Structure 1
């Protein structure tokens, strides 16, 4: 999970999941509590899916 995906690419990360913003990588304080929970759950699920996906080259999971 990375806020600045270009840095992750430059250091050779093999699985990259983009996040929201530097101070709030997996959240958005402007959302309601329920909406933020839904957002966080979706980002973490995407990261878990990335870990279980077979890849052959560095991959960014949108």
Structure 2
């Protein structure tokens, strides 16, 4: 589905814990996440650090949306 949406010119970010799966489904913009049970968070962090972590991940994803890519690219 990722490839089909991008074919219409709409950039897609695939946020996933296991990046190889993202590559196998054809994602071009891959943002690695934290862990399988908590992909975009870490319950072991305090409230402020958790907020910072999530903010950084969203910023990374937004930056990836504007990047020109020609194939699978990881945004660490």
**Range of TM-score over shorter length:** over 0.9
Cα offset for 1:22? Answer: 1.0
Please give the TM-score of this superposition, normalised by the length of structure 1. Answer: 0.94
Distance 1:6 1:56 in 2: 17
Q: Which residue in 2 is equivalent to 1:44? A: 58
Could you list the structure 1 runs, at least 4 aligned residues long, displaced by more than 6 angstroms after superposition: none
Greater CA radius of gyration, 1 or 2? 2
Superposition CA RMSD, Å = 0.7
Corresponding pairs, count: 62
Please give the TM-score of this superposition, normalised by the length of structure 2. Answer: 0.78
Unaligned residue ranges in structure 1 (runs of 5+) = none
1:2-58 CA deviation, whole Å, 9 max, x = no partner?
111110011111110000011111110000000000000000100010011111121
Q: Which residue in 1 is equivalent to 2:35? A: 21
Q: Which residue in 1 is equivalent to 2:49? A: 35
